[in-house]
Structure 1
Amino acid sequence: MTNEKQWYLSKTVWASVATVVLSCSSFFDVSLDRDIQAHLADTIMQFLTALSGIIAFFGRLSATTLISRKEI
């Protein structure tokens, strides 16, 4: 990899941010009132967390440019 890009253009960075936010959703009291709704919400959160992790993994594997820490 010889090309560079800004950090905010990285699929890996955004998928990692999504993973952290989704895994910390319980800190923000993200839940539904009823049992069935709570189970559904938990399942959706787990699925989205796994999906964002997969995107981060494949994003890094398919990356062709380096992330630059240079400011605009």
Structure 2
Amino acid sequence: MDETKPWYQSRTIWGGVVALIAASAGYFGYDLDPGAHEALTNALISGAGAVGAVVAIYGRLAAKSTIG
């Protein structure tokens, strides 16, 4: 496992976020089934990737210096 990736592309991170959301939802009386866990994890990963792309494009367009 020599490849690196941004934290927001990690299924482990987003799985943990979903587990935290599910635990919090359970505390308030809502129940998420395993299918909903997977769907929510996939949606968060896709959304994070899209946000990362937008931030990268904006950063390049707003930069004050050239790439060397």
Runs of 4+ in 1 over 3 A off after TM superposition: 30-33
1:64 corresponding residue in structure 2 = 64
Q: RCO greater where, 1 or 2, for CA within 8 Å and sep 6 or more?
A: 1
Give the partner amino acid of 2:63.
A
Structure with a larger share of its residues in strand: 1
**2:46 alignment counterpart:** 46
Give the partner amino acid of 2:65. Answer: T
Q: Give 1:66 shift.
A: 4.3
TM-score normalised by structure 1 residue count: 0.49
Partner amino acid, structure 2, of 1:40:
L
Q: In proportion to residue count, which structure has more helix?
A: 2
Report % sequence identity.
21
Provide the aligned C-alpha RMSD in A: 3.1
Q: Distance in 2 between matches of 1:64 and 1:35?
A: 46
Equivalent position amino acid for 1:62 in 2: A
CA distance in 1 between counterparts of 2:41 and 2:35 reads: 10
> Where does the alignment leave 5 or more consecutive residues of structure 2 unmatched?
20-32
Matches within 5 A, 1:1-72: 18=6, 22=9, 25-26=10-11, 31=15, 34-66=34-66
- What is the TM-score of this pair, normalised by structure 2? 0.51
Count matched residues: 48
